[in-house]
A and B are shown apart, each in its own frame.
Chain A
Amino acid sequence: MEGFLGGLAILVDPWVMLMVFLGTVLGIFVGALPGISGSTTIALMLPMTIAMGPIPAICFLGAIYCAANFGGSITAIMVNAPGDPSASATALEGYKMAEKGQAGLALGMSAVSSAIGGIFSIFVLIIAAPLLARAAYSFGPPEYFALAVFGLSMCAAIGGDSAVKNLIAAALGVLLATIGMDLTTGTERFAFGIDELADGIKFVPVLIGLFAVGEMLDQVVRRAEKAKIIAMDAARVPGMAEFRKCNRSIWLGSVIGTFIGALPALGATTAALIGYNETRRWSKHKEEFGKGSIEGVAGPEAANNAAVGGSMVPTLALGIPGSATTAIILAGLIVQGVRPGPHLFTEQPTLLYAVFASMLAANLFYLGLGLYMAKFFARISLVPPAILWPSVFVLSIIGAYGPDQSMGDVVIMLIAGVVGFLFRRTGFSPAPLIMGLVLGGKMEETLKQSLIIFGDDVSLFATRPIAMTLLAITAVGLLWPLFSRLWRLRVAPR
């Protein structure tokens, strides 16, 4: 509690508070812009935060993360084009409400349920993260290795043939992480004499390229598509009757979102989709779904914002990102010289609790901004793409060039951009690649340390119950679809 109060005290610092406010406004702004997600913005902003110092930088990025999920719901409701992928479930009912002339109510419910979900998950984060960190003190390299493998395997949990594609993207990320000097032997790997590669792949150009430039190139191809915009009334605070109706959906969404968010790799989008399905399953008004159900807005909105706090639990306590966006925030922490993990809670508690407090403040900011300025933010979707996307490209160039003032990094960013574009066209997601890139180094390091501890005897992993449990869950999770398919073939009538 003392640490948290210390964190709250940091919010008295006008500079930090300004950063949280700017992060919130920027988050809603970009969240409302179809195509630019929170992760893209955080990747773009990362280089600018280097000069800020760790606390304002992380508070700024955390505020963007919190607010972008809410911002995405504005265009999901108004133009049926989710500004952020996590708002895709909101569009299902929100746009139908807008068509019925209830856009203001949908936006109001979205703001309130988002804030409740977000604040709920931050309290869970405040309680659960230190407990998880304390448990993680008993973790050695084998446990961290197993945890990293488990985290990457979760990329497969999205389903369809994308499960294999996600695993491929994650493996490519791990392979990219091996580029540069091997720290144990001093051998240069995959650098091919190129100076920019000798120190390894830098996070910032790759992140900007994959997310911002990849999306921009994709938008070039899709520039003929146009969204239909609906006239709106101002957002309004839902009344007691609407709250009573949505009460169950909001809490269900908050709990589901926090839980899903805390699982490595599964972020706000998955949380929102599961939140929507469960809201419909448990609703007393199932017949309203598909026709503009207010519960169908409240549930997924609470879930996608709750996933923000949930995903920060493993990120801060274990250094294992809970989502693509937290993987980028994790990269931001590393760039700032902060190494997330259990020791953070004893070494830099103020930084941690400042992050928690700033996220709390961001939720309150966007609640106010969402209720009173939603109409203004909805206009953001009117920014002409011919101005928006070329500007994103220019900002990406400066973002990649900025940290080391190297045109080589710009070239790496452009290559990553082409990869991001090809990924989008072939049904791959860039998020698992980032997870692999962030976790790859840790995975190799802990595997090497484990083998040194075990005297090169891999079977000794069996003597570590936590590591074995995690590896067993990973194996079952990966092989389950195969076994279930074989089982279906066996029992199917011939």
Chain B
Amino acid sequence: MAGVTLRGVKKRYPGGFEAIKGIDLDVPDGDLCVFVGPSGCGKSTLLRIVAGLETASEGTVAIGGRDVGALGPAERDVAMVFQNYALYPHMSVFDNMAYGLRNRGAARPEIEARVAEAAAMLDLSALLARKPRELSGGQRQRVAMGRAIVRKPALFLFDEPLSNLDAKLRARMRVEIRALQRRLGTTAIHVTHDQLEAMTMADTLVVLNAGRVEQVGKPADVYARPANRFVAGFLGSPEMNFLDGEAGPDGRIDFGALGSLSAGAGARAPVSRKVVAGIRPENLAPAEGDGPDRLSLTVDFVEELGAARLVYASREGRRVVVHTAAHGGWAPGAPLALTAAAGDVRLFDPQGGAALG
């Protein structure tokens, strides 16, 4: 059992490219921490630095309070699941899972007991004699998980382990991995570019962008109170609506021809200033009556999702997406009046994108 502590971690490549630009992070013991970010944000590099597969150019990495900077991957007591699983193709499922134990000099009966236990946990008991090429993608994925858990390491490292699975299997494995990690109580770092996977699996969400941490927190908190425009836009699908507007002393945001919305007390400014207002698609709703808080648009088209639908509306080239459960009245070309609660309008600095208020 061990937490992970990163202090001032940087990674510079010989060409001068800085992939990680100074990261401080604490992952508590037993936590499932998800690194999420667009490709090239440095999340995999950071994971590999924790694993010991790459060395940090600066800074320290500690696992369970022990500085592991000078240790190789085998001495760090970590287990890793790779994106393409990296199963040894010539070894049976049993041997794949037993290999790490054997190399560490575990006794034969113990290896058999541990593999049997892990296989039972992952529903692999009937497949132990098979070779990886005789398994389906989901089964290979579970073998890779099994290889990690037989070792009973202090830390699991998952490098996009679900990205090679189809959507249905991915949703199931998400739940399974989550449940497995809870049951074992082992600290885990999970890297993904899929914001849905990140939201659903994480105890702690770490949003990375361009080699920096943008925000750390519980998924629901990060979603509700993004620290900046990047985080706000990255989490959530469809993406948050961003509209340029002007915040006045009364706390109203004026969107010009579109109309205006109230943004609560936090938005009040002594003098008017330009802001970017962010409103999540599910927080927009048709305006009832004729209050002042309304955006007037025209419906462009509707995407049917079954349980809900996405209504795309625009005016003067500014587009808004509404996620709504309500039926009817969404004919393309029809006028549409929308409103949002003051608390659901997030404001961002047009320069730099930091959250305001």
Do A and B interact?
A: no
Q: Chain A: residues with CB nearer than 8 A to chain B?
A: none
